Amino acid sequence: MTAPTTDNPGVIAYPPLLFVATLGVGLLLHWFMPWQPLPNIVARPVGGLLFIGGMWLAGWGRKSMERTGTNIDPREPALAIATTGPFGYTRNPLYVAITAVYLGVAMLVNAVWPLILAVPLMVVTHFGIVRREERYLEAKFGDTYRAYRARVRRWL
């Protein structure tokens, strides 16, 4: 049996699982206590655009990381810093993408509970995942990461 590697940011949860679980709780709450924030004629097109845009951004970000030759899973070691593609505009395009997909599903269903739960979800994502990744990348890549961080916004 091999020991787990410590060369990773030590995120508190696997991000896709965190988002899916939170969305699931929100949709379950909607099932028992439906509360629609907008008319369907507004919510569904907005949800569709967010969902499609988020999926597209996720694909672009994933391909950019693969081309860079680094791991996509934050539980694995970073092998390089992705700075091209969407990483030239935001340091966290995959989290922006998964947030857009999450919000898109909430709007497609037209459910307010996932939108309410998005607030604590983003707090946990920011402090339990993103900030840990940033500390890890700075410790591992030093000035290279600091220069990238100075050039590119964290979010949008």
DSSP string, 22-61: HHHHHHHHHHHS---SS-HHHHHHHHHHHHHHHHHHHHHH
Q: Is residue 42 part of a domain?
A: yes
Residue 156 pLDDT greater than 70, yes or no: yes
Q: Is residue 142 part of a domain?
A: yes
Closest CA to 52 of 89, 103, 18, 90: 103
- What pLDDT was estimated at residue 6? 80
Mean pLDDT of the region 150-156: 95
> Per the structure block, which two tokens stand in for 40?
């369907």
Mean pLDDT of the region 33-58: 97
Amino acid at 60: W
Q: Is residue 115 part of a domain?
A: yes
Note whether 88 and 152 are within 8 A (CB): yes
Residue 4 pLDDT greater than 60, yes or no: no
Domains identified in the chain, total number: 1
- What pLDDT was estimated at residue 70? 96
Q: Is residue 55 part of a domain?
A: yes
Q: Is residue 156 part of a domain?
A: no
CB neighbourhood size of 15 (10 A): 21
> Per the structure block, which two tokens stand in for 127?
């402090």
pTM: 0.93
> Per the structure block, which two tokens stand in for 151?
């050039």
Q: Is residue 23 part of a domain?
A: yes
- What pLDDT was estimated at residue 2? 54
Number of H helices, E strands in the chain: 6, 0
Q: Is residue 131 part of a domain?
A: yes
CB neighbourhood size of 58 (10 A): 20
Q: Is residue 61 part of a domain?
A: yes
Structural domain harbouring 124 = 15-151
Mean pLDDT of the region 135-140: 96
